[in-house]
Structure 1
């Protein structure tokens, strides 16, 4: 059916939500085409898109269709229940309720948090309640006009490819998003098909978080400033730090208020340095030694620490990951010999070097924490490896596997312990990081992104990636090209033409492996209309690594700029 026919179907729907009908009347033809030319897709973070009318938008109808697909998936798995959480975004509570109404109409019990909760707690709740699946309504750190639907399996992990394909097939079998059966909340409550969950799960989750601590050898007077950036961590991170004995924690009060507009920041993303502006101001007032910021659904965490000049420096995700990994492996004497660190293919190679020092192996996955969660489950079942730490460059960390997604609550606590540990030894985190660079080499990373909205943008992104897929340069950024990994064809090609298979799932990703542990990788975002290019270099000095990054970025962006 063409997009215009789909549009007419919506316009002719007698019971169409009136607010959506009004919005339809305000859109021009180009906007209408973008809203209806396709259905929202599941990427690395589930289904995510702009709010508004249309099959390519987040609204009660696309939510109901996704919920029906999930309900059919649960029934196919002979399951009986599902856990649901939501964040502070526009319509999040509504979408959570609609999901419960749909699964309840299918005879499936919904355990629903009655107020905002972080994504990692939802992952925990699925496992704790022994539910068959889970949903969290969130768009993570996207702009205010976005929302999303993340689906989780019975292990508490985001659906991996095989399971996601099953669910997507079931979603596609739903005849019409406009006519999905629902049941009233009061009826579901009376039937026992809707149960509101809160304190019990909170207590169990916080108790589990306290269990990740490796050592109490940390300075409890460490001055900390925390900001949840208007999101869901406003209760749990402070509660976790207090329980651990930290008595000098200050909250950025203005950003502790759930706000769907994220009115105090340009972007509610701790990867963006501007998100720390108010925390830095508070830090200077209080003399804070560690600033902690979490994104709206509290699965990502960013850190900032004062430098020698007293100005705060925001650590990159790779830098924080390297510090955490070194701290965990150096202090945790209880890990067995088969300990394994899991990182993504676009995460710094420094982690592999650090892990090797402590006798741990490193396993790479595709981008998306669902792949890390999937590996943890495999480890538990096969007993061939023990999970030691999982992380990705985009500020996602997991210390213990009672959650199967990145967990900013766990990461915030381990960050405080780590900073307190180094303070007790007379070091700041920046000084500890410098020691790691001196020991292992100056690994540095950067990322460029190209935002291209709509159908034309999606097609151009594909053409750019295809261009690089076909290239066979001998050098890039002055570094010899050693091999090219094409994750779509599952082939690694060396410059002499030799090929070997890549065992990871197929994905539209191309990675160039360069000399001296350097590399760059192109990947269309699974959650935003963006092309992302990641760079990683290594040298024996900070200056050389910065120069290598600049040259790599210059050559790659020049190449994609000529694609029409």
Structure 2
């Protein structure tokens, strides 16, 4: 069908949801085409999109279609008492979508455990494992703008579906012929049948007990002043409770951002990667002299930190900087880790992590971008015994301290951040000063990213042409730095400048990475969740200023090449 036929199918449906019908009636032709020209893609991590009517939007019908595919997946696993766990964040329609998912599951004979109120993504991952469920779903669009929501799927290990399982589920979702006619049952009827169960406090207690187990030392300054903001999301009770249980006695909340709010009305973006997200926390910090600011995103899988410099101005740490500090602290203080301890990071995460890990005799393993691949490697370690998970992180503010969760966990990371800062305070250092010591020891690693937003069909096609332009290049230098090799993750080939080639032992992906001299690199990757091309950069030199100049030059040259693509 073309988009007009899909639109007509919806427009003529007599039982169409009335809110969606009203929204449909005011769309112009261009908006209608964008809403119906394709189906909202269910990818390897689930689906995410704008709310509204249409096959290319998040609504009760596209959610039901995804839920039907998930129910079929669960039944295919042939697990005894197959079940799913469902959590949801503070976004528009999140609870509605959670209940619709449970209604579809129950109609297929699959039991759903549904959190009775907002819970973060990491607790969903924990709950799947704790309840021995077959799968899990969290309704969230992470840090996307308010008009977005999403459906993120998990397997029985509590990790996002690895590629083979994801492909199976994608196929099952595509087999649903008409999203308007997916069968559901009422919650009350499913409760009577034992196919729907609300969950809350028992899982909370078990999760919080596990979180307390990440602590490495009590020989720290627990009276340090901390300000926390959940950015209108799900993290407030869990993060504050975990800090209180650990003995931190001077924790304040940014009250204007403490309550869930689907509009995220006090920030331009509820993303701790963006310095503006810390505006209110910084204002509060300056009033009180806070020594550490912590911010989590709406579904509490990402966390950002800010600390005051010598002039009293707050500096927001990058994800790479925070990850290096956390890794160094863990490896220096966790005596239980065996010799085969391993850092797991992504291919666009700083090489500084590898240098820190090497100092402590730890191995480093790279994965594709996305925490699902880190979770998958943890499971492989458990089966093979070839490594022991020591820490996992990615540049986009995602960290996992211990593996009772199989996704990035801002609750664990917030507690570790407080302990880390309190540890260095007792030694007379701020986190910025501790970071400077790492730079002096390992070199001045510096990273950056450019993001190009290109929406719609034309944008998607242009992103493809941009990546292909770099895929077909063989420059000797880039940004004034020698090129050592080009990694094409779509063909799984690493091509060296002397003509030699070798296989890349990672899943195929539409990603191109250039390896430069002196641990420098850049990488082009289309986002899997937004209409964006992301360009990542990493450099290293013997000084901060030299690294800054290298980064600027590299970014400028890459952007100039991209601007040549029509």
- TM-score category of the 2 structures, normalised to the smaller one: over 0.9
Q: Which residue of 2 aligns with 1:458?
A: 460
The change in CA–CA distance for 1:415 and 1:203 in structure 2 (over 3 A counts) is same
Q: Aligned equivalents of 1:204 and 1:371: distance in 2?
A: 25
Contact 2:342–2:388 under 8 Å retained in 1 = yes
Q: CA deviation at 1:524?
A: 0.3
Q: Which residue of 2 aligns with 1:40?
A: 40
Alignment of 1:246-265 (within 5 A): 246-265=248-267
Give the 3-state SS of the residue equivalent to 2:39 in structure 1.
coil
Q: Aligned equivalents of 2:44 and 2:536: distance in 1?
A: 16
Q: Aligned equivalents of 1:342 and 1:303: distance in 2?
A: 21
Q: Which residue of 2 aligns with 1:10?
A: 10
Q: Which residue of 2 aligns with 1:112?
A: 114
Alignment of 1:416-455 (within 5 A): 416-455=418-457
The change in CA–CA distance for 1:43 and 1:440 in structure 2 (over 3 A counts) is farther
Q: Which residue of 2 aligns with 1:480?
A: 482
**Most deviating of 373-382 and 3-12:** 3-12
Give the 3-state SS of the residue equivalent to 1:388 in structure 2.
strand
Unaligned runs of 5+ in 2: none
Alignment of 1:11-410 (within 5 A): 11-43=11-43, 45-79=45-79, 80-410=82-412
**Most deviating of 33-42 and 214-223:** 33-42
Q: CA deviation at 1:412?
A: 0.1
Give the 3-state SS of the residue equivalent to 1:337 in structure 2.
coil
Q: Which residue of 1 aligns with 2:546?
A: 544
Q: Aligned equivalents of 1:498 and 1:49: distance in 2?
A: 42
Q: Aligned equivalents of 2:86 and 2:219: distance in 1?
A: 37
Q: Deviations over 1:42-96 (max 9, x none)?
A: 3464200000011110000000000000000000001311000000000000000
Contact 1:44–1:527 under 8 Å retained in 2 = no
Q: CA deviation at 1:551?
A: 0.2
Give the 3-state SS of the residue equivalent to 1:124 in structure 2.
helix
Q: Deviations over 1:426-480 (max 9, x none)?
A: 1100000000000000000000000011000000000000001001111000000
Q: CA deviation at 1:142?
A: 0.1
Q: Which residue of 1 aligns with 2:511?
A: 509
Q: Aligned equivalents of 2:522 and 2:237: distance in 1?
A: 39
Q: Aligned equivalents of 1:526 and 1:381: distance in 2?
A: 29
Give the 3-state SS of the residue equivalent to 1:42 in structure 2.
coil
Give the 3-state SS of the residue equivalent to 2:235 in structure 1.
helix
Q: CA deviation at 1:498?
A: 1.1
Give the 3-state SS of the residue equivalent to 2:85 in structure 1.
strand
Match of 1:496 among 492, 495, 498: 498
Give the 3-state SS of the residue equivalent to 2:428 in structure 1.
coil
Q: Deviations over 1:309-363 (max 9, x none)?
A: 0000000000000000000001111100000000000000000000000000000
Q: Aligned equivalents of 2:95 and 2:227: distance in 1?
A: 29
Q: Deviations over 1:155-174 (max 9, x none)?
A: 00001111110000000011
Q: Aligned equivalents of 1:335 and 1:215: distance in 2?
A: 15
Q: CA deviation at 1:296?
A: 0.1
Q: Aligned equivalents of 1:294 and 1:220: distance in 2?
A: 21
Q: Which residue of 2 aligns with 1:554?
A: 556
Unaligned runs of 5+ in 1: none
Give the 3-state SS of the residue equivalent to 1:450 in structure 2.
strand
Contact 2:44–2:162 under 8 Å retained in 1 = no
Contact 1:222–1:420 under 8 Å retained in 2 = yes
Contact 1:44–1:367 under 8 Å retained in 2 = no
Q: Aligned equivalents of 1:151 and 1:281: distance in 2?
A: 38
TM-score by length of 1: 0.99
Q: Aligned equivalents of 1:44 and 1:311: distance in 2?
A: 41
TM-score by length of 2: 0.99
Q: Aligned equivalents of 2:510 and 2:541: distance in 1?
A: 29
Q: Deviations over 1:175-195 (max 9, x none)?
A: 110000000010011111111
Q: Aligned equivalents of 2:369 and 2:438: distance in 1?
A: 25
Q: Aligned equivalents of 1:199 and 1:293: distance in 2?
A: 24
Q: Which residue of 1 aligns with 2:530?
A: 528
Give the 3-state SS of the residue equivalent to 2:533 in structure 1.
strand
Give the 3-state SS of the residue equivalent to 1:47 in structure 2.
strand
Q: Aligned equivalents of 1:515 and 1:360: distance in 2?
A: 23
**Most deviating of 386-395 and 282-291:** 282-291
Q: Aligned equivalents of 1:320 and 1:72: distance in 2?
A: 40
Give the 3-state SS of the residue equivalent to 1:196 in structure 2.
strand
Q: Aligned equivalents of 1:544 and 1:42: distance in 2?
A: 43
Give the 3-state SS of the residue equivalent to 1:14 in structure 2.
coil
Q: Aligned equivalents of 1:222 and 1:411: distance in 2?
A: 17
Q: CA deviation at 1:376?
A: 0.3
Q: CA deviation at 1:236?
A: 0.2
Contact 2:43–2:166 under 8 Å retained in 1 = no
**Most deviating of 141-150 and 488-497:** 488-497
